[in-house]
Chains A and B, each alone.
Chain A
Amino acid sequence: MKKKDFVVILIFLAVAVILWILMNKIPGDTAGGEVVIYKNREEFAVIPLTDERTIVVEDKGGNRNVIRIEDGKVRMIEANCPDQVCVNTRPAQADGQSIICLPNRVAVEVRSTGKNEIDGVSE
């Protein structure tokens, strides 16, 4: 093998790594779909994951949660609950991931809108 052969190999491997990183950053059409917010076990709002907005969930008891959707991810940015578990939960982006604030009875769930196109293909 020549010296430049190794260069070619390294270039291709670098391209693969870069593509892999990019694809993990950009949410695809099969990743997630819409965000469903539940308050007291009832559907409070359904928002596409591609939106960029902030939702405030409040009730008469003074419980307050602020949910932020951006870059295809959903986060709980603020909550007045005592344990703050929801705020420390990592952002949800894939189908089935959720963020739950038990004291305030708020749940945020990501669900897929369309079917996964890779499934169902066979030779």
Chain B
Amino acid sequence: MNHQDIKRMTLSAILTAGAITLHFVEGLFAMPVAIPGIKIGLPNIVSLVALYLFGPLEALAILILRVFMTSFLYSGFSSLIFSLAGGILSIAAMYAVRKLSEKGFGIVSASVAGGVFHNIGQILAAAAVLRTSSVFYYLPVLIVSGVVTGAITGIVSGSIIPRLNRIYNPDK
């Protein structure tokens, strides 16, 4: 295990802890809109940071650890499937956009795509759990909310990622 491996391990652990904290913080204040199921998605910042700093596998590992921890600590088992469906689809979408980064799509693009697909994942999970397609009528609302929250978390991540990158890759 070399120097870089230890750095990656430590930073991943810190990011996981940060994600759990952000999930808790998010639960502390209510959203100012009267639409159920809409959150800023602060833990998504961590997914985005992990994806840009390390890669999709690390981001996925941090996501799964975070979802299991927060489900057992706070929200109960029923939220597990929703969080996993949303999170995994979100990371997949952000990874796809990140691959296009040479074509001029930045962190905010990835974050917006992540936010939208996070909500799509949750709708799919809801449709599977409730066995009804009625939930899809909610899709336009959730796409718009995904764009807004994705833009917010994207801007935040855009200022975090270069700073952490200086610590993680000081030579570059």
Contact = CB atoms under 8 A, between A and B. Distances in A.
A-B interaction: yes
Interface of A: 1-5, 8-9, 12-13, 15-17, 19-20, 23, 28-30, 116-118, 121, 123
A16 B105 contact: no
B135 interface: yes
B112 A8 contact: yes
Contact of A28 (B104, B112, B134): B134
Given A9-B151, A12-B147, A123-B78, A1 B140 contact: no
A99 B116 CA distance: 40
Given A16-B144, A19-B139, A8 B134 contact: no
Chain A binding surface SS class: helix
A26 B172 CA distance: 54
B134 A5 contact: no
A12 B112 contact: yes
Q: Which of B103, B134, B140, B155 has the most CB of A within 10 A?
A: B140
A1 B113 CA distance: 14
A83 B129 CA distance: 51
A1 B108 contact: yes
B37 to A, nearest CB: 10
B interface, how many residues as a size bin? 20 to 34
Contacts, number: 70
Contacts of B141: 16
B140 A117 contact: no
Contacts of A4: 103-106, 109
A12 B134 contact: no
Contacts of A23: 137, 139-140
Given A5-B112, A15-B143, A16-B143, A28 B137 contact: yes
Contact of A12 (B146, B155, B158): B146
A20 B140 contact: yes
A28 B133 CA distance: 10
A15 B112 CA distance: 13
B4 interface: no
A5 B105 contact: yes
A2 B140 contact: no
Closest 9 CB pairs of A and B: A20-B140, A16-B143, A5-B108, A2-B106, A8-B109, A4-B104, A16-B140, A117-B132, A19-B140
B154 to A, nearest CB: 8
Contact of A1 (B97, B135, B147, B155): B155
